[in-house]
């Protein structure tokens, strides 16, 4: 096996993915890269390269330098941030994908992971148990770019035989990295504020139900789909993926079980419209049947784990 390159390694998912892959394959076999250096301890933990995902030559050079076989392309501008800069979001989210697809087409790399999102769905999509194949009319720049990326992944697989694999992440929640500009990031920030302030003002309404996943499950799913035999990956656009769904009110109630005096207020902003366009729950039966996906964390277990880790970090 050749080495693994993670592009966008300093982001919310990339940081934890890098750590887990280095545990599995050894730190020298997993090259982290980002457009700039992040946390010094993380950068020093193994091979690190400053790489602009939009620069084809830089990406190609690092792949050749380290004899890279697999690329995890985690660089992206997330939903709420992308709405503020649509042209750059489209450029980053799409052209970075073209670069790695074309390098795989040229047989410079063997396998690609590219993340999609529930943002590919839109207001006309069925909201309950959203199926794998359904109406997809995204209303955000992020969703439009992810839907387009799914089509290109499938095209490059069907026409050029590129081994590209993808999952549609729901909202992701992690104790080890701060929010990164996503509409679901309230579900990360709420734990930090519960411990530091004892209160939180949510930018979504109390009954906004969204699909969510604890980062431990998301990292495991990402690695498992890449480890699965190629013949088991029957969908080459992107797989639905799910673990749980909840509202801000419900997550607040679980926090109150640990911090009884915790209070929450609601002041919906422009992100409410984004959230309202997304599914409330996801049918991920194809992932469970094709490559045996199984989640491990529900809301109560996640809240307990989040508060334990954040409390120990604050000490």
Quote the mean pLDDT of the chain.
95
Active site residue 239: no
**pLDDT for residue 107:** 97
| Rg of the chain taking only CA atoms, in angstroms | 19
The pLDDT confidence band at residue 38, using thresholds 50, 70 and 90, is confident
Q: Which of 140, 169, 182 is nearest to 72 (CA)?
A: 169
Does 262 have pLDDT greater than 80?
yes
DSSP the chain: --EEEEETTTSHHHHHHHHHHHHHH-GGGEEEEESS---HHHHTTS-EEE--TT-HHHHHHHHHHHTEEEEEE-----HHHHHH-HHHHHIIIIIHHHHHHHHHHTTS-SEEE--EEGGG--TTS-SSSB-SSS-----SHHHHHHHHHHHHHHHHHHHH---EE-EEE-EEE-SSS---S-GGGHHHHHHHHHHHTSEEEESS-TT--EEEEEHHHHHHHHHHHHHS-GGG---SS-EE--SEEE-HHHHHHHHHTTSTT-EEEE---THHHHHHTS-SSB--HHHHHHH-------HHHHHHHHHHHHHHHH-
Apex CA 261: angle with CA 257 and CA 262, to 5°? 75
Higher-confidence residue of 183 and 253: namely: 253
**pLDDT for residue 39:** 86
State mean pLDDT over 201-226: 97
The pLDDT confidence band at residue 11, using thresholds 50, 70 and 90, is confident
Residue-range domains of the chain with CATH: 3-170+214-240 (3.40.50.720), 173-212+245-280+298-314 (3.90.25)
**pLDDT for residue 80:** 78
Does 177 have pLDDT greater than 80?
no
Does 60 have pLDDT greater than 80?
yes
Does 92 have pLDDT greater than 80?
yes
The pLDDT confidence band at residue 303, using thresholds 50, 70 and 90, is very high
The pLDDT confidence band at residue 76, using thresholds 50, 70 and 90, is confident
Predicted confidence (pLDDT) per residue in 14-34, tens digit: 999 999 999 999 999 999 999
**pLDDT for residue 176:** 86
State mean pLDDT over 130-139: 96
Does 180 have pLDDT greater than 80?
no
Rounded to whole angstroms, the Cα distance separating 306 from 179 reads 14
Percentage, residues of the chain above pLDDT 70:
99
**pLDDT for residue 296:** 97
State mean pLDDT over 236-259: 98
The pLDDT confidence band at residue 183, using thresholds 50, 70 and 90, is confident
State mean pLDDT over 199-221: 97
- Residue 166's Cβ-count burial label (10 Å; 0-12, 13-18, 19+) is buried
Check 142, 156, 186, 297 and give the catalytic one: 142
């Amino acid at each position: 096996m050749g080495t693994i390159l993670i592009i966008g390694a300093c982001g919310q998912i990339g940081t934890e993915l890098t750590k887990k892959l280095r545990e599995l394959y050894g730190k020298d076999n997993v090259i982290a890269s980002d457009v700039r250096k992040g946390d010094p301890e993380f950068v020093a933990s193994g091979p690190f390269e400053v790489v602009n995902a939009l620069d084809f030559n830089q990406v190609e050079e690092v792949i050749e330098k380290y004899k890279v076989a697999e690329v995890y392309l985690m660089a992206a501008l997330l939903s709420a941030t992308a709405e503020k800069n649509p042209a750059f979001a489209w450029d980053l989210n799409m052209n970075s994908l073209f670069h790695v697809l074309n390098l795989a087409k040229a047989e410079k790399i063997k396998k690609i992971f590219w993340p999609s999102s529930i943002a590919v769905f839109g207001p006309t999509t069925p909201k309950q148990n959203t199926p794998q194949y359904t109406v997809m009319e995204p209303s955000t720049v992020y969703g439009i770019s992810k839907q387009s990326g799914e089509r290109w992944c499938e095209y490059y697989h069907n026409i050029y035989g590129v081994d590209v694999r993808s999952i549609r992440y729901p909202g992701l929640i992690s104790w080890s990295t701060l929010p990164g500009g996503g509409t679901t990031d309230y579900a990360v920030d709420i734990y930090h504020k519960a411990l530091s302030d004892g209160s939180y003002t949510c930018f979504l309404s109390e009954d906004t139900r969204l699909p969510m996943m604890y980062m431990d499950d998301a990292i495991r799913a990402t690695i498992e789909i890449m480890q699965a035999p190629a013949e088991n990956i029957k969908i080459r656009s992107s797989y639905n993926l799910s673990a749980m769904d909840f509202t801000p009110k419900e997550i607040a109630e679980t926090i109150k079980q640990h911090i009884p005096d915790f209070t929450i207020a609601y002041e919906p902003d422009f992100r409410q419209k984004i959230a309202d366009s997304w599914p409330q729950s996801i049918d991920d039966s194809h992932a469970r049947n094709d490559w045996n996906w199984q989640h491990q964390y529900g809301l109560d277990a996640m809240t307990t784990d989040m508060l334990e880790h954040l409390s120990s970090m604050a000490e």
